[in-house]
């Protein structure tokens, strides 16, 4: 499955547009709780742990989007857009990672 | 006049009753507190409870009967009464112990005042005091960034100077594009989406006070490490792209999401893009050309070079044979069976050539020569070895003798050294230790050890102790002969 942020496929012929596919993942974490509980990076003091969490959440979202596209019979997703949103109040934080794109079928 | 006063009294009677009742109750509670000795942390709770109770009762009655609050005058009255009594009174009911001006007393006074004049005191407390404190701390603890921000030159510079990631972007060998590449570059292959995240925290070096100030003041751009975070996010994305084997990333999008509430703020920086394999004009053509050249070269060599071998390099038959082999390897399946047979014939022809035979005999002779030489040299080596063995035996005895002698010398000196060292060690071990007499009383600390001419400890000197000893002025030093020492340990024990 080809997943692209580009809106076109250069040199390839898109045979069918299957429509919008989406995928979401929620990252329920309190950034500061994690930070102060000692999950600190040795260098720089920034949590790479949190960044890793973000990455895994993004991968989860993409994976669910990919499955939906596969069910539709597409072999590529173009115009993919990854969006990170902050949900929740001031205290706890939930980060929502949303991925959406257009599922298409293309020929070489 | 009288009637107006009467009218006033009637009008305010409930207020007066409320104040009177409150004061009475406060006073009564104070008496009870004294009587039952309700003391917490060495402080009688009446100083807080009584005014509060008075104020409470007064407010309840006043709001029910009078219609509005009387402002907790009774609380103030009660407090004044109690304290006045404590400070100046004769001390019948209350013990004669003036209220000391402690923190709790001040708080009690403030509380009472606050109950009496809520608006004024609240204004002073929350606007006046906090405002002054904020100004003061802001003045005393000035952040470096604030100072730099104050200078107008620096402020201007901020816009111009490049952030960390600008330099980083210039050094990249993978081009990052936010658009679709169009100028003649052909996208060879789409590798897929790549992304990278990083968290930019606010710098938190300044501590708690300025953390509070942050709520009031706007956040400075350079107090958030955005440049670094962007660099991290981009480089993570690039790593992914590199792992996929791409040589460019197109349609890069950088996004910022703020997170975190009152406790501070962090910004997630994300970068997404599509990894692609670009085939641009400059890189493509030379590769193709060289490839064509190679093909052409192989085609040309087919027959002509072999012919050349035959005529020009007849003497080096084995070499040409190898060459042919190499060529056949190179060409692989391309060689026709006809060519192959031709070559084999040629090989056989060259092998039987007189010059080849001549060379063979020459090489054989050379090998024989080398063999002879080897034998000669090995013989000589064996002779040398024999001679060495002889010398070995001769010198062994002599060297052993010398070593024995030196060893003996070393032993002697070592023995002497040891004896001296032992005394020094004893000296170091003893000095500074406490000396106890027969009754286990501490006499003092060992100041010096005296050693006689035979390297034996003769006596120990104990410092007299006291401050004077520290300055070396004490004259009360005690000299104790070493034979009076009964045991040496952490402390030195004396015998009679």
The residues on B that touch A, with CB distances below 8 Å, are 180, 186-187, 190, 192-193, 195, 197-199, 201, 232, 236, 250-251, 253, 255, 257-264, 266, 268, 270, 272-274, 276
User: Higher model confidence: residue B423 or residue A54?
Assistant: A54
For the cut 70, the answer to whether the pLDDT of residue A56 exceeds it is yes
For the cut 80, the answer to whether the pLDDT of residue A17 exceeds it is yes
pLDDT at B141: 67
**Average of per-residue pLDDT across B150-155:** 46
Weakest-pLDDT range from A48-57, B291-300, B331-340: B291-300
For the cut 80, the answer to whether the pLDDT of residue B9 exceeds it is no
Weakest-pLDDT range from A28-32, A35-39, B171-175, B177-181: A35-39
- Closest by Cβ to B192, choosing from A2, A9, A58: A2
Q: How far is B251 from chain A, CA to nearest CA, in Å?
A: 6
Residues of B in Cβ contact (< 8 Å) with A54: 197, 199, 268, 270
Helices (H), ranges, B141-207: 144-150, 152-160, 164-171
Cross-chain Cβ contact B193/A62 below 8 Å? yes
* DSSP letters for B82-116: HHHHHHHS--SSS-S-PPP--HHHHHHHHHHHHHH
- Closest by Cβ to A5, choosing from B258, B263, B272: B272
User: Cα–Cα distance between A73 and B212 in angstroms, integer?
Assistant: 56
For the cut 70, the answer to whether the pLDDT of residue B236 exceeds it is yes
On whether any CB of chain B is under 8 Å from the CB of A62, the answer is: yes
User: Cα–Cα distance between B462 and B460 in angstroms, integer?
Assistant: 7
Chain A residue nearest residue B182, CA to CA: A10
Cross-chain Cβ contact B190/A54 below 8 Å? no
Q: How far is A73 from chain B, CA to nearest CA, in Å?
A: 18
Domain housing A58: 2-107
Give tens-digit pLDDT for B446-464.
877 777 776 677 787 877 6
* DSSP letters for B368-384: HHHHHHHHHHHHHHHHH
Give tens-digit pLDDT for B267-321.
788 888 888 887 754 443 333 334 344 444 444 444 444 444 444 444 444 444 4
The helix/strand/coil state of B461 is: strand
∠ CA B424-B428-B429, rounded to 5°: 115
Q: Are B75 and B26 in contact (CB under 8 A)?
A: yes
Chosen from B164, B199, B208 to mutate, greatest number of chain A CBs within 10 A: B199
Structural domains in chain A (count): 1
User: Higher model confidence: residue B293 or residue A60?
Assistant: A60
Q: How far is B456 from chain A, CA to nearest CA, in Å?
A: 60
Pseudo-torsion of CA B389, B391, B393, B396, nearest 10°? -130
For the cut 60, the answer to whether the pLDDT of residue B187 exceeds it is yes
Q: State what percent of residues in chain B have pLDDT above 70.
A: 59
pLDDT at B286: 37
* DSSP letters for B23-56: HHHHHHHHHHHHHTT-EETTEETHHHHHHHHHHH
Q: Are B223 and B234 in contact (CB under 8 A)?
A: no
Q: Nearest 5°: phi and psi at B197?
A: -125, 155
**Average of per-residue pLDDT across B12-25:** 80
Question: What does the mean pLDDT of chain A come to?
Answer: 77
User: Cα–Cα distance between B186 and B465 in angstroms, integer?
Assistant: 95
pLDDT at B158: 44
Cross-chain Cβ contact B187/A11 below 8 Å? yes
Give the pairing type, strands B43-44 and A94-107.
unpaired
pLDDT at B143: 57
Q: Which CATH number belongs to the domain containing residue A34 in this structure?
A: 3.30.110.70
Segment holding B469, helix H or strand E: helix B466-470
């Amino acid at each position: 499955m080809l997943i692209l942020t580009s809106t076109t496929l250069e040199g390839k012929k898109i045979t069918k547009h299957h429509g919008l596919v989406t995928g979401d993942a929620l990252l329920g974490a309190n950034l500061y709780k994690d930070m102060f509980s000692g999950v600190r990076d040795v260098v720089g003091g920034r949590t790479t742990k949190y960044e890793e969490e973000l990455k895994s959440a993004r991968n989860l979202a993409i994976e669910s989007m990919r499955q939906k596209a596969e069910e539709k019979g597409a072999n590529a997703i173009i115009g993919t857009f990854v969006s990170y949103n902050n949900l929740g109040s001031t205290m706890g934080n939930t980060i929502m990672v949303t991925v959406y794109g257009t599922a298409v079928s293309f020929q070489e | 006049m009288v009637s107006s006063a009467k009218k006033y009294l009637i009008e305010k009677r409930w207020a007066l009753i409320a104040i009177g009742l409150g004061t009475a109750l406060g006073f009564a509670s104070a008496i009870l507190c004294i009587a039952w000795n309700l003391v917490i942390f060495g402080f009688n709770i009446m100083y807080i409870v009584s005014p509060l109770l008075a104020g409470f009762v007064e407010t309840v009655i006043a709001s029910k009967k009078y219609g509005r609050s009387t402002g907790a005058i009774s609380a103030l009255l009660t407090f004044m009464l109690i304290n006045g009594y404590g400070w100046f009174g004769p001390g019948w009911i209350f013990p004669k112990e003036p209220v000391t001006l402690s923190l709790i007393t001040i708080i009690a006074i403030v509380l009472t005042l606050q109950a009496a004049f809520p608006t004024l005191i609240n204004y002073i407390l929350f606007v006046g005091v906090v405002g002054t404190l904020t100004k003061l701390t802001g003045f005393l603890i000035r952040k470096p960034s604030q100072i730099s921000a104050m200078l107008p030159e620096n402020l201007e510079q901020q816009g111009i100077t490049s952030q960390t990631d600008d330099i980083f972007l210039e050094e990249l060998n993978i081009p990052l594009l936010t658009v679709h590449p169009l100028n003649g570059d052909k996208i060879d292959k789409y590798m897929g989406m790549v992304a990278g995240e990083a968290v930019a925290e606010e710098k938190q070096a300044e501590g708690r006070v300025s953390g509070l100030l942050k709520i009031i003041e706007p956040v400075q751009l350079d107090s958030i490490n955005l440049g670094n975070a962007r660099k991290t996010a981009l480089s993570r994305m690039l790593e992914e792209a590199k792992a996929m084997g791409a040589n460019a990333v197109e349609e890069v999008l950088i996004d910022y999401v703020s997170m975190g509430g009152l406790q501070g703020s962090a910004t997630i920086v994300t970068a997404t893009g599509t990894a692609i394999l670009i085939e641009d004009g400059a890189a493509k053509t030379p590769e193709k050309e060289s490839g064509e050249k190679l093909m052409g070269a192989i085609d040309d060599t087919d027959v002509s070079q072999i012919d050349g071998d035959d005529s020009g390099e007849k003497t080096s038959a084995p070499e040409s044979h190898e060459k042919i082999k190499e060529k056949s390897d190179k060409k692989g399946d391309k060689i026709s069976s006809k060519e192959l047979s031709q070559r084999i014939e040629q090989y056989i022809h060259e092998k039987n050539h007189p010059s080849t035979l001549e060379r063979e005999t020459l090489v054989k002779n050379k090998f024989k020569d080398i063999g002879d030489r080897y034998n000669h040299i090995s013989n000589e080596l064996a002779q040398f070895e024999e001679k060495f063995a002889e010398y070995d035996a001769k010198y062994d005895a002599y060297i052993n003798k010398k070593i024995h002698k030196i060893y003996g010398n070393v032993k002697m000196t070592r023995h002497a050294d040891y004896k001296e060292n032992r005394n020094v060690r004893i000296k170091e071990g003893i000095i500074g230790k406490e000396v106890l007499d027969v009754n286990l009383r501490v006499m003092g600390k060992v100041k010096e050890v005296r050693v006689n001419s035979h390297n034996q400890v003769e006596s120990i000197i104990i410092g007299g102790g006291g401050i004077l000893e520290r300055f070396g002025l004490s004259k009360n030093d005690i000299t104790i002969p070493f034979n009076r020492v009964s045991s040496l340990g952490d402390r030195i024990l004396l015998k009679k």
